[in-house]
A and B are shown apart, each in its own frame.
Chain A
Amino acid sequence: MTTSTSKPAGTVGAGEVGPATSSPSPGKLPPRAPWLVVGAVASVAVLLLFVGVSPALVVIGGLAANILGICLWSRLVEGRRAATDRMVTAVVATAFVIAMIPLVSLLYTVVSRGAARMDAAFFTNSMLGVVGEGGGAYHAIMGTLIVTGLAALISVPIGIMTAVYLVEYGKGRLARSITFLVDVMTGIPSIVAGLFAVALFQLFFGPGIRLGIMGAVALTVLMIPVVVRSVEEMLKIVPNELREASYALGVSKWRTIVKVVLRTSVAGIATGITLAVARVIGETAPLLITLGAVTGVNFNPFEGRMSSLPVFSYYSYVAPGASPAPSIDRAWAAALVLMLIVMALSLLARLISYLFSPKIR
């Protein structure tokens, strides 16, 4: 008894030392203190810019001054603990702002420059016979949808079944080596996946072959590991109790997997697949060497070259032809369409996860 009481007493004593040395602070900064400091630093920065100090120096100095300012002010009024808290908050907020700059800038640039060609013609016309003004990306949009759709059609079943094997069946060496290979696949550069598809199809069709399905195969190589990984994580978080509940009702293992495990995790699986599609839909390099590029519409992935949005955007930009302006407009519009497709996919995944996720009420 005596030893057990003396120990907590010691720790309590040590705890009391902290508040005793750092002076207790009744002071409190006004609620808008961080914004006041930001305002002050910003006005000084504007002044310095007028004087002619280099903008880079002003921005970096301003960010540092903002952090130091709130930290010092709080140290004087509120004490050390609160000052540390304010400093870390300021650092995190600054990091967030810095991280947002490229994202906002990218969105702004793509939307403002792509908006010029957001007209009906862009979505209904191909580039067949178009030189200069007009034309559209209909062929590229359809190409991207067909090739990515095919890739998803191949890789989603393979990915889900691999994940089911790894989580529900796989034990021992085979499962470990599959996990290892999936990790290796995650690291394959996209151009290597493209070259793989080219090499594979050249074996059967000879050199110079370009097909939609080749692009789909290349994207599949990139997509499978992403699908496997995300589905695996989702299946792992399905509680074992649900599997046991199903077994105890006399339900066989595969029915349990299909109707309980996959059904419970369908929301997460949908999100994972969307991320995987978003990962490959913007791939340019493998499509450049597997699809080639055409100016006309081709719906058949098993015959002839196809176009795709990333490749279309790339060629419009690097080879704009005699009158560059309309071609560069089309390149930005294609980039914007690509972003809109990815956004629509994300919304679709949200909808699926809203409709199918487990509910309480």
Chain B
Amino acid sequence: MAKSIEVRDLNIYYGAFRAVEGVTMSIRPAQVTALIGPSGCGKSTFLRSINRMHEVIPGAYVEGSLTLNGNDLYAPGTDPVSVRRQVGMVFQRPNPFPTMSIYDNVVAGYKLNSRKASKTVTDELVERSLRGANLWNEVKDRLDKPGAGLSGGQQQRLCIARAIAVQPDVLLMDEPCSALDPISTLAIEDLINELKTEYTIVIVTHNMQQAARVSDYTGFFNIEGTGKPGKLVEMDETKTIFSQPREKATEDYVSGRFG
């Protein structure tokens, strides 16, 4: 299921403004890739360009190529909607649908697309997804209760369950723990470790310890100044980035001597 992503010379624009410049990287299948860097360096923009979510902002477009197992995600005629079915996403703030129960939230990908499925099929899907997100034991007795009634950490795991229920090939996570307490963060990090056997995971994080703990590969983004585009400075195995990076800027950033 897990697929690899090849990015070549990717420039991302918002209208005339170039937000990210010349990113070339390969994201390996069934591995966790962390993207770190200072605020505004374009790592979230880059992450969102992988499932074309940045296009919800009018005027956004990309140059260069981004392929998923060889399929160009930006080929003419490729529907962003179909891209997003292959590349799921978990957001910074937990965002379960407030009008839906826990059960309906998990199968939201099916329900919102009006795909018909029998009760037994969806029951099985809900249990598998919630087990996959380490949430089943906590919510199995109250699946018909609103998802908004869960705690923040549980809501975030519900959002992960919702994302994996549509069985994507890649899972993008945009600072998934930044709104959570340390215990919920630990739960999510454990979950990431389990999920990487089945999914290619790309995670943006501001927390370098988290990047060091959960990821196999790390990419460091940086920006020269406000108004300049963000760039991928260096990408390597996580332990290399954190112990002996090639670039001085990377070393300054990961050792906290930035700026």
- Residues on A facing B (Cβ under 8 Å): 171, 239, 241-252, 255-256, 259-260, 263-264, 356, 358-361
Partner of A239, one of B51, B95, B109: B95
Please judge, given known A-B contacts A259-B112, A360-B149, whether A264 and B99 are in contact too, CB under 8 Å.
yes
Please judge, given known A-B contacts A249-B109, A360-B146, A361-B149, whether A241 and B166 are in contact too, CB under 8 Å.
no
Answer whether residue B145 sits at the interface, using C-beta atoms and an 8 A cutoff: yes
B97: chain A residues at CB < 8 Å are: 242, 245-246, 260, 264
Q: How far is the CB of A168 from chain B (nearest CB, A)?
A: 11
Q: List 8 A-B contacts (CB under 8 A).
A: A244-B56, A245-B95, A247-B53, A248-B53, A251-B112, A260-B112, A359-B146, A361-B149
Q: How far is the CA of A259 from the CA of B111 in the complex (A)?
A: 9
Q: Is the CB of B99 within 8 A of A241?
A: no
Q: How far is the CA of A256 from the CA of B80 in the complex (A)?
A: 14
Partner of B98, one of A171, A247, A251, A264: A264
Q: Is the CB of A248 within 8 A of B51?
A: yes
Q: Is the CB of B112 within 8 A of A255?
A: yes
Please judge, given known A-B contacts A264-B97, A361-B145, whether A250 and B81 are in contact too, CB under 8 Å.
yes
Q: Is the CB of A244 within 8 A of B93?
A: no
Stretch at the interface among B21-29, B84-92, B215-223: B84-92
Q: How far is the CA of A251 from the CA of B93 in the complex (A)?
A: 20
Further pairs besides A263-B99, A358-B148: 16, Cβ < 8 Å: A241-B95, A242-B97, A242-B98, A244-B56, A244-B89, A244-B91, A244-B95, A245-B91, A246-B112, A247-B81, A248-B88, A248-B91, A249-B108, A251-B112, A252-B81, A252-B113
Give 1 or 0 for each of B18-61: 1 = CB within 8 Å of chain A CB. 00000000000000000000000000000000010100101000
Residue of A nearest to B148 (CB): A360
Residue of A nearest to B83 (CB): A250
Q: How far is the CA of A264 from the CA of B97 in the complex (A)?
A: 8
Question: Count the A-B residue pairs with Cβ separation under 8 angstroms: how many?
Answer: 86
Please judge, given known A-B contacts A241-B93, A248-B84, whether A361 and B146 are in contact too, CB under 8 Å.
yes
Give 1 or 0 for each of B197-229: 1 = CB within 8 Å of chain A CB. 000000000000000000000000000000000
Q: Is the CB of B113 within 8 A of A248?
A: no
Q: How far is the CA of A250 from the CA of B109 in the complex (A)?
A: 7
Q: How far is the CB of B166 from chain A (nearest CB, A)?
A: 6
A248: chain B residues at CB < 8 Å are: 51, 53, 84, 88-89, 91, 163
Please judge, given known A-B contacts A250-B166, A255-B113, A361-B146, whether A245 and B99 are in contact too, CB under 8 Å.
no
B98: chain A residues at CB < 8 Å are: 242, 264, 358-359
Q: How far is the CA of A250 from the CA of B53 in the complex (A)?
A: 10
Q: Which of A248, A360, A361 has the most CB of B within 10 A?
A: A248
Residue of B nearest to A264 (CB): B99
B58: chain A residues at CB < 8 Å are: 171
B166: chain A residues at CB < 8 Å are: 249-250
A356: chain B residues at CB < 8 Å are: 99
B137: chain A residues at CB < 8 Å are: none
A246: chain B residues at CB < 8 Å are: 97, 108, 112
Q: How far is the CB of B142 from chain A (nearest CB, A)?
A: 10
Residue of A nearest to B109 (CB): A249
Answer whether residue B62 sits at the interface, using C-beta atoms and an 8 A cutoff: no
Q: Which 5 A-B pairs have the closest CB atoms?
A: A250-B85, A358-B98, A248-B89, A241-B95, A249-B109
Answer whether residue B196 sits at the interface, using C-beta atoms and an 8 A cutoff: no
Residue of B nearest to A240 (CB): B56
Q: How far is the CA of A118 from the CA of B88 in the complex (A)?
A: 62
Q: How far is the CA of A359 from the CA of B89 in the complex (A)?
A: 25
Q: How far is the CB of A105 from chain B (nearest CB, A)?
A: 42
Answer whether residue B243 sits at the interface, using C-beta atoms and an 8 A cutoff: no
